[in-house]
């Protein structure tokens, strides 16, 4: 009978030892898990502070975002959300594209809205013609050359300019009214 008691004592000690080892493993796992979560949160908050500091999160749109918003294609020329606006159509791959961009950078978008049409895009290419149509009232009638400045009021072309000198004068006239 003594042997049985010894075996039970030894088994109990082994069971207690196994339970302690399992508890230690669980504690170690939980500590590691909490450590990883803490480091992850720390990195998240540090990176968000760095991004804000570097100016990644801005409420004001950049010039590129504004230009992207102001792009139109031939199908949307006559139905913009404002009553009066300009549409400047040109080929950005032309040699004079940087000159056109510089000219338009001086335009005050607060007075009148300016939209840009890239005549090099596939969607706009069918509307690039040798002979333009300044009296177009719908998309199917559009015929444009590069560069073209259109002033549109209530969905109709009011002014249609193809000569760069006339376009410059129109831009200067609008700037003088500040």
Sign of CA dihedral 65, 134, 157, 174: positive
* DSSP output for 119-157: TTSTTTGGGB-SS--TT--SGGG--B-SSEEEEEETTEE
Question: Does 107 have pLDDT greater than 60?
Answer: yes
Q: Please tell me whether residues 38 and 87 are part of one structural domain.
A: no
Share of the chain above pLDDT 90, in %: 26
Q: Indicate if 49 and 109 belong to the same structural domain.
A: no
Residues 52 and 75 both lie in one domain = no
The domain boundary, picked from 57, 77, 98, lies at: 57
CA dist 112 and 128 (Å) reads 25
Q: What digits encode the pLDDT tens for the residues 5-47?
A: 656 666 666 667 677 788 888 999 999 999 999 999 888 888 7
User: Both 90 and 158 in a single domain?
Assistant: yes
71 and 33 within one domain: no
Which residues form the domain of 49? 1-57
Same domain, yes or no: 148 and 75? yes
- d(CA 73, CA 178) in angstroms, rounded, equals 29
Contacts (Cβ under 8 Å, ≥6 apart) of 79: 155
Task: Please give the pLDDT value at position 7.
Answer: 60
| H-helix or E-strand spanning residue 113 | strand 113-118
Choice between 51 and 80, residue whose per-residue pLDDT is larger:
80
Residue 95 φ/ψ, nearest 5 degrees: -65, -25
């Amino acid at each position: 009978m003594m042997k049985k008691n010894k075996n039970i004592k030894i088994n109990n000690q082994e069971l207690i030892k196994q339970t302690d080892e399992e508890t230690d493993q669980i504690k170690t796992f939980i500590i590691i898990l909490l450590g990883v979560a803490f480091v992850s949160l720390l990195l998240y908050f540090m990176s968000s502070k760095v991004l804000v500091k570097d100016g990644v999160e801005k409420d004001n749109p950049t010039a590129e975002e504004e230009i992207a918003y102001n792009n139109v294609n031939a199908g949307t020329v006559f139905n913009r959300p404002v009553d009066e606006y300009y549409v400047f159509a040109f080929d950005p791959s032309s040699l004079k594209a940087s000159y056109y961009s510089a000219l338009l950078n001086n335009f005050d978008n607060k007075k009148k809205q300016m939209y840009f049409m890239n005549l090099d895009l596939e969607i706009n290419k069918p509307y690039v013609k040798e002979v333009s149509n300044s009296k177009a009232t719908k998309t199917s009638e559009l015929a444009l050359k590069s560069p073209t400045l259109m002033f549109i009021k209530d969905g109709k072309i009011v002014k249609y300019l193809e000569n760069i000198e006339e376009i410059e004068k129109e831009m200067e006239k609008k700037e003088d009214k500040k």
